[in-house]
Amino acid sequence: MSKSNTLAIIVGGSSGMGKEAAKRLLTEGTPVLLLSSNPEKLTTAKQDLEQQTGGQVEPYAVDL
């Protein structure tokens, strides 16, 4: 199955299980839309994940 049109949306992705799920998806080549209510943690998570995986992370600070 081709992942060329795939985008993963991770809620609570700035730490814990959400961040680990994002890391796995990024390692597999899936771009990630990372959502979190904490903008500072979100920025740090984006930098960490992109550095560790070379993947594409788009962060959005939202409170759902």
Confidence of residue 4 (pLDDT cuts 50, 70, 90): low
Confidence of residue 17 (pLDDT cuts 50, 70, 90): very high
**Across 45-52, average pLDDT:** 97
Question: Has residue 57 got a pLDDT over 70?
Answer: yes
Question: Has residue 16 got a pLDDT over 60?
Answer: yes
Please state whether the predicted TM-score (pTM) of the whole model is above 0.75.
yes
Handedness of CA 57, 25, 31, 64 (dihedral sign): negative
Question: What single DSSP character describes residue 37?
Answer: S
Contacts of 2 (CB under 8 A, 6+ apart): none
Question: Has residue 1 got a pLDDT over 50?
Answer: no
The type of residue at 8 is A
Q: Evaluate whether 14 touches 22 at the Cβ level (below 8 Å).
A: no
